[in-house]
Chain A
Amino acid sequence: MLAKPGFRLDRRVFLVLPALAVSLGLFIYPVGALLLRSLFEPVPGIQNYRAVVTQPVYAATLWNTVVISASVTAICIVIGYPFAYAIASAGPRARRWLIFAVLVPFWSSVLVRSFAWLVLLQRNGLVNQTLIALGLTDRPLLLTHNRTGVLIGMSHVLLPFMVLPLYAVMARIDSSYMKAAASLGAPPVRSFIRIYLPLTRAGLLNGATLVFVLGLGYFVVPALLGGAGETMIAQLIQSQVSDFGNWGLAGALSVVLLAAVAAAFALLRFVVPSAARAR
């Protein structure tokens, strides 16, 4: 018996139903409820949003969050780009090992890794002991409970999100382009800037967006490795809920976070079309 094409489409709808149900029940509903609370608690009105806008501490925390996330993105580009290139240009065996090296930390819990960094970076930790033994410093560097600790911890956790999209793009670049450029007399730096970099642009943008957007919502790493100056918006939301029971303000801050994420995505859409063509 031959099925009509219309039947097939209908049945495929069922395939997304479980995902849709999970998304509705576990994401859309609670987030929607939180948004409602931001408008109705403790009394109906926009007072929570007014507080977020008018009280300088909230703006300062949001700015902190953006600066930290942007710094992490920059660090991930600097470390991730050459690393992704190394993976793309390595032989099959070395490539497997290099990808494995990216994925192993990716598979382990953020919490465990943050504690591991705490152990490594603290005053009497391995990093400081090594630096002192090598004579590079005579007193322990302050690497935890400050910006340095947060940047190290977050960059480590988020690096795979930069390396993997970059590698995916780099692996598909035909090496004959670079050879052609060289044969036409372009020095390596010039052929990198004129040819290789534009070809990897889509991967770079995807990676940067992922790292930046994920970084905006970070909680565990700044809570464990940061100090007072590294409070990020997710920590502020958590403390509004669990310390003050202030769901309304927490909801308003969540909306601001959501808006920041949406803005980052919109920016990518706006920048990416030319890059998508380069793919």
Chain B
Amino acid sequence: MDDNDAPPFPTATPLIRRRRFGALVGGALAGAMTSALPESSAAQPANLAGTKLVFASWGGVYQNTQKAAFCDPFAARTKATIVQDGPVDYAKYRVMIKSGAPAWDALDVEAAFLLSGGPDNLFEKLDTKIVDVSRLEPKYVNEYGAGVIVWAYTLGYSLTAYNEANHPRSWADLFDVKKFPGRRMMRDRVVPSLEIALLADGVPMENLYPLDVERAFRKLDTVKQDAVWWTTNSQCQQLLADGEVTMGVINNGRLWDIMKKGSKVGIEWNQSLKAVDYLVVAKGSKNVAAAMALINESTLPESQAVIANAMATAPTNPAAFALIDEAAKPWMATNPAYDKFSMLINEAYWRDNFKELSDRWAKWKLS
């Protein structure tokens, strides 16, 4: 199954043979390249003409940016055809994998799904002979996926309702309906709502996990009537931009996006909760090696800089920072200035508890 078992193919494999043995070629290529160039651990596939890769992501501005950042350059260089699909739907994906013929080759997933999907045999193991993970910060590399962006849930607020001197500064303020009356928005999902509720209730960051679930739901009860619950990223942008709410939970990149489009909004980084998106290869993909090569493309600093400049997402490859606009840097979740008062969502906790607590969340919402 591993590349080690693959018969060694010469680099100049004729097209027809390459097609037939497409899955093996990349691995063999990687082997050949590694021995030729011991300095670089990653192989650049020469020619993938005739290979069709399906890449699935989250749609909208994010996927368009990913297309421009690494899909298009990869397609141009290797002559592979890359088809965009999405949005990613975990239930649908599980069904695909079960059927043994995934329609997607590579996809963008959140960390919690990455961590639960690895043991569930949903992804191919990352082939580090093709994907040069040494470029990435080690904490963003997983056995099954390579981190592609780092982002954060932050407290966004309207500068029409508040000003730079007087605005909500913590999750406690988000829950304080006396000091800050009116409607606020929160994500209609158990992550990160439980974390936010506990931080608002005074639990220190370092003691957050394992979550005190009962306490979190008790705290959430206090804001239930005053909160608007958003489900999509576009929705939270609209709620804040149109003044439907004056503050709330929003992804930093989405807040940056509406600010660039003219909304008067501010961002509070205090207690921001960071998360990572990963690129993975679908288990049973017919183009594993080519899909790995596409992921490798996403680790390049120039690829990551394109996404960062468009969406203020932080790169997982530190070399990308040199290529990022100064204007975007204060909006990035990994800015060292925020390290002291921000934290990473504990995805291992959610791997073990997401399903059960999501069910509880749905019931709490309905009660």
**In the complex, A57→B227 CA distance in Å?**
20
Within 8 A of A (CB), among B324-367: 355, 358-359, 362-363, 365-367
Contact B366 A228 (CB under 8 A): yes
Nearest opposing residue in chain A for B361, CB measure: A243
Q: Which residue of A119, A236, A243 is within 8 Å of B91 (Cβ)? A: A243
Let me know if A242 is at the binding interface, CB within 8 A. yes
Let me know if B242 is at the binding interface, CB within 8 A. yes
Most chain A CB atoms below 10 A, which of B94, B224, B362, B365: B362
Let me know if B209 is at the binding interface, CB within 8 A. no
Within 8 A of B (CB), among A148-198: none
**In the complex, A55→B91 CA distance in Å?**
23
Please indicate the chain B residues that have their CB under 8 angstroms from the CB of A245 in the complex. 90-91, 94-95
Q: Given A123-B243, A124-B242, A144-B244, A227–B358 Cβ distance below 8 Å?
A: no
Let me know if A61 is at the binding interface, CB within 8 A. yes
Contact A122 B244 (CB under 8 A): yes
Q: Which residue of B90, B227, B365 is within 8 Å of A231 (Cβ)? A: B365
Let me know if A241 is at the binding interface, CB within 8 A. yes
Let me know if B89 is at the binding interface, CB within 8 A. yes
Let me know if A244 is at the binding interface, CB within 8 A. yes
Let me know if A60 is at the binding interface, CB within 8 A. yes
Let me know if B103 is at the binding interface, CB within 8 A. no
Please indicate the chain A residues that have their CB under 8 angstroms from the CB of B362 in the complex. 57, 236, 239, 243
Q: Using an 8 Å CB-CB cutoff, how does the interface string of A218-245 with B read, 1 for contact, 0 for none? A: 0000010001100100001001011111
Q: Using an 8 Å CB-CB cutoff, how does the interface string of A251-277 with B read, 1 for contact, 0 for none? A: 000000000000000000000000000
- Cβ distance B124 to chain A, nearest Cβ, rounded Å: 21
Query: Number of contact residues on A: which range applies?
Result: 20 to 34
Query: Number of contact residues on B: which range applies?
Result: 20 to 34
- Cβ distance B335 to chain A, nearest Cβ, rounded Å: 32
Please indicate the chain A residues that have their CB under 8 angstroms from the CB of B359 in the complex. 244
Nearest opposing residue in chain A for B235, CB measure: A224
**In the complex, A245→B98 CA distance in Å?**
13
Let me know if A147 is at the binding interface, CB within 8 A. no
**Interface residues of B: mostly helix, strand, loop or mixed?**
helix
Let me know if A145 is at the binding interface, CB within 8 A. yes
Please indicate the chain A residues that have their CB under 8 angstroms from the CB of B229 in the complex. 227-228
Let me know if B228 is at the binding interface, CB within 8 A. yes
Please indicate the chain B residues that have their CB under 8 angstroms from the CB of A57 in the complex. 362-363, 366-367
Q: Given A122-B242, A124-B242, A144-B244, A243–B358 Cβ distance below 8 Å?
A: yes
Contact A227 B244 (CB under 8 A): no
Please indicate the chain B residues that have their CB under 8 angstroms from the CB of A241 in the complex. 91
Please indicate the chain B residues that have their CB under 8 angstroms from the CB of A124 in the complex. 242-244
**In the complex, A261→B366 CA distance in Å?**
22
Please indicate the chain A residues that have their CB under 8 angstroms from the CB of B183 in the complex. 123, 142, 145
Q: Given A145-B228, A244-B355, A228–B244 Cβ distance below 8 Å?
A: no
Q: Which residue of A56, A227, A231 is within 8 Å of B228 (Cβ)? A: A227
- Cβ distance A239 to chain B, nearest Cβ, rounded Å: 6
Please indicate the chain B residues that have their CB under 8 angstroms from the CB of A145 in the complex. 183, 228, 244
Contact B89 A242 (CB under 8 A): yes
**In the complex, A227→B245 CA distance in Å?**
13
Please indicate the chain B residues that have their CB under 8 angstroms from the CB of A236 in the complex. 362, 366
- Cβ distance A132 to chain B, nearest Cβ, rounded Å: 13
- Cβ distance A122 to chain B, nearest Cβ, rounded Å: 5
- Cβ distance B181 to chain A, nearest Cβ, rounded Å: 11
Please indicate the chain B residues that have their CB under 8 angstroms from the CB of A122 in the complex. 242-244
**In the complex, A145→B184 CA distance in Å?**
12
- Cβ distance A111 to chain B, nearest Cβ, rounded Å: 13
Please indicate the chain A residues that have their CB under 8 angstroms from the CB of B231 in the complex. 223
- Cβ distance B128 to chain A, nearest Cβ, rounded Å: 30
Contact B366 A61 (CB under 8 A): yes
Question: What 3 A-B pairs have minimum CB-CB distances, sorted nearest first?
Answer: A245-B91, A124-B243, A57-B366
Given contact pairs A60-B367, A142-B183, enumerate 15 new A-B contacts (beta carbons under 8 Å). A55-B363, A57-B366, A60-B366, A61-B366, A123-B183, A144-B244, A227-B228, A228-B229, A231-B366, A239-B362, A242-B90, A243-B362, A244-B355, A245-B91, A245-B94
B-side residues, CB < 8 A to A, are 89-92, 94-95, 183, 224, 227-229, 231, 238, 242-244, 355, 358-359, 362-363, 365-367
Provide 13 A-B residue pairs closer than 8 Å at the C-beta atoms, listed in order of the A residue.
Answer: A57-B362, A57-B366, A57-B367, A118-B238, A119-B242, A142-B183, A227-B229, A228-B224, A228-B229, A236-B362, A243-B91, A244-B91, A244-B358
